[in-house]
A = this chain, B = another copy of it.
Amino acid sequence: MTFAVVGTTGAVGRELLSLLAERGIPAGSLRALASERSAGTEVAYGNGRMVVEELTDESFTGIDIALFSAGADTARRFAPAATAAGATVIDNSSAFRMDPEVPLVVPEINGELITGAPRSTESTGSVASANAGRIIANPNCSAIILVTALNPLQRVFGIERLVVSTYQAASGAGDAAMRELAEQSRAVLAGDTPLPEVFAEPCAFNVFSHDTAVDADTGRNVEEQKVIEETRKIFDQADLRMSVTCIRVPVMRAHDESVNVTLATAASEAQVRGALAAAAGVRIVDDRAANDFPTSLKASGGNDVLVGRIRPDQSQGAGNGRWLGFDLFIAGDQLRKGAALNALQIADLVAARAN
């Protein structure tokens, strides 16, 4: 298979290159694309380097899988050229996520939606439309981490309602935000009062509401709306009741989430732990005696979503040792499972179905 990475020079783009190199994809099977500004620069790839090419409508000739990590505008502008050239687009932006013809995929949950995309517009096969088979959306990072952790509970017990509060890293706002967190922290420690640039609020030693626009009527910000809509779409459960509060914390690259779950069917704590322990992509970190639970740093650089602080929520009633409510604290690497890793797992499925 041949790959293109669109947005090579960004935080997610670099992570994609790192994961492609880990998978042993030769540099000759890979095209590193970015805007005109970055064209001609070099990026690290495996033990070597490769030259970044300018993204144009002609960039996708001979490409099987185009991994987009360059924002919604770039995706809308260039995805049609990629699919027209026969590539399958895996897009990390919000551009196509809520399009009913585009699958929104977390492989552990709904990988079956990847049905073997046609290589040419003639052979649409079982796919609803040529376009639908050719674009697969990678969900929002907070949504991916949430649904990966909750999927075993949703499958086994059903979920009626979720109350989620996030602790989101700077990486979700890209490279410049991670640099701002480091530089601002340095300045504050030196006694200065630096002016924020990437975020509207100071990010060093501060906690603040997510920087996306807030709806004047509902009071939800865009990030919260994404988590709600995408969780419902991924779980194929339009009536899932959700309250989500998205908050930024001064952390580099892993999101944490405090999750209060209302199950559809009461379960014992042992049953909940059993379901989580058996789930793909999930690792339980939960030692009460040692106070060892998921943290941002334990999740950083890893592939699993960490789940801990697993306990019954006594505020939701119980009977016979079973509970409808449970509390969880989860953590996942925003750049890996929250973005690049999930996209590559989708690519693995596309490749497998094409063979």
Contacts and interface: CB of A to CB of B under 8 A. Distances in A.
Nearest to A216: B288
A208 B243 CA distance: 22
Contact of A249 (B167, B218, B241): B167
A54 B185 CA distance: 38
- Give the residue among A221, A269, A311 with the most B Cβ atoms within 10 A: A311
Contact of A250 (B161, B211, B213, B249): B249
A189 interface: yes
Interface stretch (A60-68, A118-126, A292-300): A292-300
A309 B206 contact: no
Given A207-B296, A315-B241, A189 B182 contact: yes
A349 to B, nearest CB: 32
Interface stretch (A107-115, A135-143, A251-259, A335-343): A251-259
A237 interface: no
A235 to B, nearest CB: 15
Secondary structure call for the A interface? mixed
Interface in A250-281: 250-252, 256, 258, 260, 269
Interface in A323-346: 325, 327, 329, 331
Contacts of A165: 165, 258
Interface string A211-234: 101111011110000000000000
A241 B242 CA distance: 19
A267 to B, nearest CB: 15
Nearest to A186: B189
Given A245-B329, A291-B214, A327-B243, A315 B161 contact: yes
Given A185-B185, A249-B249, A243 B315 contact: yes
10 contacts: A163-B260, A167-B249, A200-B291, A206-B296, A207-B296, A209-B294, A209-B329, A220-B311, A245-B260, A245-B309
